[in-house]
Amino acid sequence: MKPVVSVGEMRSIDEKAQLDVGIQTLINRAGSSLARVAVSMLGGTYGRRITVLFGKGNNGNDGRTAGRLLGFKGAKVSLVETSKITYQIGAKSIPREFKDADLVIDSAYGLGFKGEYNFPCVPHDTKVLACDIPSGINADTGEICGMPAKSDATVTFGALKPGLLLGEAPLYCGNIVLSDIGLDTSNATMHLLEDLDVAKLLPQRSFTAHKWNNAVLVVGGSKGMMGSADLTSRAALRSGAGMVRLGIPGYVPFPSEVVSLELPPWDWEGEVLDVLDRFKALVIGPGLGRDVRTVKSICEVVEKAPLPVVIDADGLYGLGTPSQAVQLLLSRRAATILTPHQREFERLTGVSLNDCNSLELTMRFARQSSAVVLLKGPTTIVAAPDGEVLFSTAGPSSLATAGTGDVLSGIIGAFLARGIPPLSAAGCAAQVHGSAARLGYSDGLLAGDLLDLIPLWFSLMAGRD
């Protein structure tokens, strides 16, 4: 997992490193990292024109050091201080300092940037390399403050920053290169997941395993919404659950590998609670509906279920108002995972969500509710009550189609049943969900396609061991 730290945390880490090895050593290391990436981007340096746009801080020092090293390698380097560029803010004309550049290194402003910044126009075929983060992006939130350059690559040091991952910021960062310059980030509480991390965290089936070792119960579905619960159930099976039972209130599920649990149309909480002793995880909510009697049963099951519960879709609606939801979740004895998208999160918390506050608010609600909160999005945020956070950027835009969230809930349920801790179960499920989707159609992907792509992803990962 790659560490992710806030601006404040990075300042403390950087200050300690300066005491240990000295600031000039860190600048030399950062500049060398920038220079190496620049060489790779250009395919060589001799005769290439490179413009370094630098500011007054250490970010500017990193850029100037990179320029000096690239000059030694035969590049024609121009150093341009941000305050002395001969252009007007917002003008479309290309400043003379950039007209012939093959590469521009953006080291104008670093992590502490505040205000608004407009990157100068450059020729369309000129590559841009950002130092730590593209100038004009808030490193904590991903907020776009002005008009940053759409960089081809960004070299960031020691750890990723939240602002590289959130909102529209990834559109401006290009390929993100994490460079180790000797900063101690071992105490980071936030991390970005990668596929190999999931492979390491997933336990192998024991030699003596049987189907009830990691059984999942799914309660979902209603008239017109049968498919949601079926997708969740089959996704759990595809993700390693040995046994999945599905209860659709008032209906008997159609025959499949999923075993049915007959439930009455209303007041079904007793039947669900009576069978939980054989299961390792419960998923409740997909397609259940929002009838007041359904809400009553959801609340009673969530409150009394003595095993880990994944609450999704109509299950989240059933938790009630923000204060009711927090009170109910705090009453639980076992782990809880909530999987809202933006609108569900806003209803659940009573606060407006945007790109700039998504991380802060997700962490806050996880702390308030003592639940793991998975906020779906282009970058999925998974926050635990103790402040630990996992990010997943695996999910492609093809997942923006009906039913894919139901599949995600099933994967989480299976991972919980396999004994993975709640935060890791949710984070790994998001990573598998997104990575599996990348194996499918870029356009026209259906939620049902994921049911075959998930085991394909597992098989491919097994081949990489």
At 242-266, the pLDDT tens digits run 999 999 999 987 768 899 999 999 9
Residue 115 CB coordination number (10 Å) = 8
Are 15 and 142 members of one domain? yes
Q: When comparing pLDDT for 283 and 206, which is higher? A: 283
Pairing mode, strands 244-247 and 216-219? parallel
- Residue 92's pLDDT is 61
Is 361 within 8 Å of 325 (Cβ atoms)?
no
Are both 145 and 211 inside the same structural domain? no
Domain end point (choices 164, 186, 208): 186
Contacts of 364 (CB under 8 A, 6+ apart): none
CB atoms within 10 A of CB 340: 23
Residue 290, number of CB atoms within 10 A of its CB? 12
Query: For all residues of the chain together, what is the average pLDDT?
Result: 94
Residues 182/66, Cβ–Cβ less than 8 Å = no
Amino acid at 371: A
Q: Quick check: helix, strand or coil at residue 291? A: coil
Average pLDDT over residues 141-152: 94
Position 464 pLDDT exceeds 70: no
User: Diameter of the chain by CA atoms?
Assistant: 78
Shared domain for 217 and 165, answered yes or no, is: no
Closest CA to 238 of 206, 216, 210, 220: 216
Calpha distance 156→133 (Å, rounded): 7
Instruction: Specify which residues 310 forms β-bridges with.
Output: 283, 337
Both 153 and 269 in a single domain?
A: no
DSSP class of residue 371? S
Cα distance between residue 10 and residue 136, in whole Å: 18
> What CATH number did the domain enclosing 397 receive?
3.40.1190.20
Cα dihedral 432, 434, 440, 446 sign: positive
pLDDT value for 93 = 77
The pLDDT-based confidence of 171 (bands split at 50, 70, 90) is very high
Domain boundary among 186, 218, 236: 186
Same domain for 94 and 30 = yes
Query: Based on the domain organization, do 174 and 220 belong to the same domain?
Result: no
Say how many C-beta atoms besides its own lie within 10 A of residue 356's C-beta: 17
CATH, residue 162: 3.40.50.10260
Picking from 163, 186, 209, the residue at the C-terminal end of a domain is 186
- Checking if the pLDDT of 405 tops 90, the result is yes
- Residue 384 and residue 276 share a domain: yes
Q: How confident is the model at residue 89, as a pLDDT?
A: 47
78 token code pair: 């121009």
What backbone torsions phi and psi does residue 360 show, to the nearest 5 degrees?
Answer: -60, -45
What is the β-pairing status of strands 380-383 and 372-375?
Answer: antiparallel
Is 286 in contact with 409 (CB distance < 8 Å)? yes
Q: Could you tell me the pTM of the whole model?
A: 0.95
Q: Is the pLDDT of residue 208 over 70?
A: no
Average pLDDT over residues 109-119: 88
Determine the structural domain holding residue 66 and report its residue range: 2-186
Q: What is the distance between the alpha carbons of residues 444 and 214, in angstroms, rounded to a whole number? A: 33
Same domain? For 155 and 257 the reply is no
240 with 370, same domain?
yes
| pLDDT value at residue 204 | 80
d(C-alpha 73, C-alpha 432), whole Å: 43
Residue found under tokens 């969500």: 353
Q: Are 103 and 30 in the same domain?
A: yes
Domain count, the chain: 2
Does the structure show a pLDDT above 60 at 437? yes
Q: Kindly give, in sequence order, each residue whose CB lies less than 8 Å from that of residue 290, ignoring residues fewer than 6 positions away.
A: 314, 317, 318
Residue 355: the pLDDT is 81
More reliable by pLDDT, 210 or 6: 6
pLDDT tens column, 121-134:
899 999 999 999 99
Cα–Cα–Cα angle for 453, 456, 459, rounded to 5 degrees? 155
**DSSP conformation class of 160:** B
* Per-residue pLDDT tens digits for 314-355: 999 999 999 999 999 999 999 999 999 999 999 999 999 988
| For residue 376, pLDDT beyond 70 | yes
Q: Mean pLDDT throughout 193-198?
A: 96
Is there a single domain that holds both residue 159 and residue 256?
Answer: no
DSSP 8-state symbol, 74: T
Match 């900063």 to its residue by tokens. 183
Region 430-445: what's the mean pLDDT?
97
What average pLDDT score do residues 52-61 get? 94
Q: What percent of the chain has pLDDT over 90?
A: 87
Predicted confidence at residue 53, as pLDDT, reads: 96
Do 71 and 170 fall into the same domain?
yes
pLDDT at 450: 98
